[in-house]
Structure 1
Amino acid sequence: MSFTKLATALLVASVAVLQVSAESHTVTLVNNCGKGTPVLKQNGNTLSTGGDYTANGPLSAAISYLDTGCGANGDGCTLVETTLQNPTTAGSGSSTDISLIAPLAFSVKATFAYKNGCTNGKACDSADCTTAFHQSTDTTVQEACQANDAGLTITYC
């Protein structure tokens, strides 16, 4: 085999290995409320207004809310916060929670459930639900998933 053919074969094999090990996370937004628009944002940028969103790599510090007149970052509404990432060490995978810390406020029922490796999740159906952040020290409400390529379904109402 010539050097060129060998180099080409190694390059193709390397690309195939990278594609197999590529990290990917899909967020599905479901609106059962009959009003409003589900929003997924990261760093102020809108990633989705109802359709599935797939991140090719980690999805860090994303937020979701059902826009029924909320502020630009979900102010005045129920908020779901998430970081979806493959774990590199024990406990360093995905984490999701529901937040009602002011200026956020309960607006609609919100539920999230992991998919693709984990099936756990949480729901909040009232302003006083115990499954949401009400103050920054409520860290026990965070829900973790330690699976590679974990996805998330967020449902409103």
Structure 2
Amino acid sequence: MKFFKSSFAAALVSTIITLVSAETHTVIFDNRCGRGTPILRAQNGDILSTGGPFTIGGPLIGAIAYLQIGSCGNNGEGCTLIETTLRNPTSPGSGSSTDISLIPPHTFSVTSGFGYFNGCEPAGADCDNPDCPTAFHQPGDTNVQVACQVNDVNLAITFCL
């Protein structure tokens, strides 16, 4: 019986430590445009949010966000796109990365921006015109990616800054 009690206690402590240290990320929206619907899509195309906060227990890989103003395609075509991966770093440089994309078929539609919170503040970017230097205009513009190497970082996306 003593072995059972100590094994149970060890398993309980291990479970609590796992729960306490579980990775989590939240994406929130601030739509100041007075129109449109914020969309957050997963890499597989599933809609994760239509404007409400979205929290995931684990990494969020290859998600996209845009403001659906009636002219955006299902993957944000024709609109300003925000691309993000939120994950806890497992080695230097392997954490979160977010950017704004105007690579065709994406195009400037509304001023858009993002910022990390719960770590890496004030890192982020804003795009307020079709030629903004903080957005991808072609695939080689990797200098516009904004990285964050902090566990459990969250992301705020704002439309019509």
TM-score (norm 1): 0.98
Contiguous gaps of at least 5 residues in structure 1: none
Separation in 1, partners of 2:29, 2:2: 52
Q: 3-state DSSP class of the match of 1:97?
A: strand
1:123 equivalenced with 2:92 (yes/no): no
- The amino acid of 2:2's aligned partner reads S
Q: 3-state DSSP class of the match of 2:55?
A: strand
Report the Cα offset of residue 4 of structure 1: 1.9
C-alpha distance after superposition, 1:25-54 (max 9, x if no partner): 110011100000000001200000011101
Identity of aligned residues (%): 59
Q: 3-state DSSP class of the match of 2:76?
A: coil
Following TM superposition, the consecutive aligned residue runs of length 4 or more in structure 1 with deviations greater than 4 angstroms are none
Separation in 2, partners of 1:19, 1:94: 21
Equivalent positions of 1:133-144 (< 5 A) are 133-144=136-147
Show the counterpart of 2:153: 150
Separation in 1, partners of 2:97, 2:58: 15
Show the counterpart of 1:107: 109
Contiguous gaps of at least 5 residues in structure 2: none
Separation in 2, partners of 1:9, 1:147: 31
Equivalent positions of 1:46-61 (< 5 A) are 46-61=47-62
Report the Cα offset of residue 128 of structure 1: 0.6
1:98 equivalenced with 2:100 (yes/no): yes
- The amino acid of 2:145's aligned partner reads Q
- The amino acid of 1:44's aligned partner reads G
C-alpha distance after superposition, 1:70-112 (max 9, x if no partner): 1000010000000001111111110000000111110000010
Q: 1:79 aligns with which of 70, 78, 81?
A: 81
Report the Cα offset of residue 16 of structure 1: 0.6
For the aligned residues, what is the CA RMSD? 0.8
- The amino acid of 1:56's aligned partner reads G
Separation in 2, partners of 1:29, 1:2: 52
**Number of aligned residue pairs:** 157
Q: 3-state DSSP class of the match of 1:98?
A: strand
Q: 3-state DSSP class of the match of 1:4?
A: helix
TM-score (norm 2): 0.95
